[in-house]
């Protein structure tokens, strides 16, 4: 069960076109909700930053940023590469550069691109913005795993 998103005058609703991520398991259930916007072969992942996502300094926790990136990149690869669309892509390495803080209530949004796929590995990168301001960039290497069960597909 996803918690209700934070919505008030200072924290507006989810941007038009975004739909709640239909899959993901308990981790996303606890840390989400996450939202997807499909635009052709591109996918955007979104999250409204809530108090439970913050570090002691009152901005988005770096671990939450890394988790967001770790979900963003495989989701984008699935959409952009039909031959990988149903494959589980476990993370081998993830590099995150923190560019700016993401404050409470901001809309976190990410895009990613597939750089290269080999027989067994995927190389990809992504950019995350907080209300349109770049706040993190990430690059990762992912193993091309088995097909995902239907219940896990976004």
Domains of the chain and any CATH numbers: 19-152 (3.10.129.10)
Q: For residue range 12-38, list pLDDT tens digits in order.
A: 689 999 999 876 678 888 888 899 999
Q: For residue range 69-107, list pLDDT tens digits in order.
A: 999 999 999 888 888 888 999 999 999 999 999 999 999
Following DSSP, what letter does each residue of 41-91 receive, concatenated?
A: TEEEEEEE--GGGB-TTSBB-HHHHHHHHHHHHHHHHHHH-GGGTTB---E
Distance (Å, whole) CA 4 – CA 32: 9
Distance (Å, whole) CA 48 – CA 148: 27
Q: The pTM is what? A: 0.87
pLDDT above 50 for 9: no
Average pLDDT over residues 131-136: 98
Distance (Å, whole) CA 37 – CA 43: 6
Share above pLDDT 70 across residues of the chain, in percent, rounded to a whole number? 88
pLDDT above 60 for 4: no
Which of 108, 107, 73, 110 lies closest to 91 in space, CA to CA? 73
Q: Is the dihedral of CA 97, 100, 106, 110 positive or negative?
A: negative
Q: What is the mean pLDDT of the chain?
A: 89
């Amino acid at each position: 069960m996803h918690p209700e998103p934070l919505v008030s005058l200072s924290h507006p609703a989810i941007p038009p076109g975004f739909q709640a991520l239909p899959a993901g398991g308990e981790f996303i259930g606890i840390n989400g909700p996450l939202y997807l916007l499909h635009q052709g072969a591109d996918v955007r992942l979104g999250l409204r930053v809530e108090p439970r996502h913050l570090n002691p300094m009152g901005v988005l926790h770096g671990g939450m940023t890394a988790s967001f990136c770790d979900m963003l990149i495989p989701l984008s690869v699935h959409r952009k590469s039909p031959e990988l669309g149903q494959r589980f892509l476990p993370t081998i390495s993830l590099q995150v550069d923190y560019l700016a803080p993401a404050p409470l209530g901001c809309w976190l949004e990410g895009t990613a691109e597939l750089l290269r796929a080999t027989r067994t590995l995927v190389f990809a990168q992504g950019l995350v913005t907080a209300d349109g301001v770049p706040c993190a960039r990430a690059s990762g290497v992912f193993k091309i795993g088995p097909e995902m069960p239907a219940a896990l597909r976004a």
